[in-house]
Amino acid sequence: MLLAAIMMEARKGLMKRERERDQLPVGMQALAVDDDPVCLKVLMVLLRCCQYHVRARGHF
C-alpha cells in the first residue's frame, strides 16, 4: 500500500515535469514568411496565440 502511494506520487511528479517541458517559450520572436496571404495570416494568428512576437513578410 505504501509502495503504491509512493509510485503514484512519483508518477504525478513525472507528469508535472512533462507538462512543464511541453510548454512553449513565451515572448519569443518569429518571422513568418509565405507567398499566400491567407496562409500567412493563419500562421501569424497561431503564433500570436502562442504568445510569440510575430513579424510577417509576404511575397517578394
Residue 45 grid cell: 494568428
Each residue of 10-58: pLDDT tens digit? 677 666 666 666 667 788 899 999 988 898 999 999 999 888 999 988 7
**Per-residue H/E/C for the chain:** CHHHHHHHHHHHHHHHHHHHHHCCCCCCEEEEECCCHHHHHHHHHHHHHCCCEEEEECCC
Domain holding 46, by residue range, is: 25-60
| 18 in a structural domain | no
The total number of structural domains in the chain stands at: 1
Which one has a higher pLDDT value, 51 or 7?
A: 51
| 13 in a structural domain | no
Say what the pLDDT of residue 2 is.
65
| 14 in a structural domain | no
| 2 in a structural domain | no
Residue 24 grid cell: 512553449
Say what the pLDDT of residue 50 is.
86
Say what the pLDDT of residue 16 is.
66
Say what the pLDDT of residue 1 is.
57
Mean pLDDT confidence for 3-9: 69
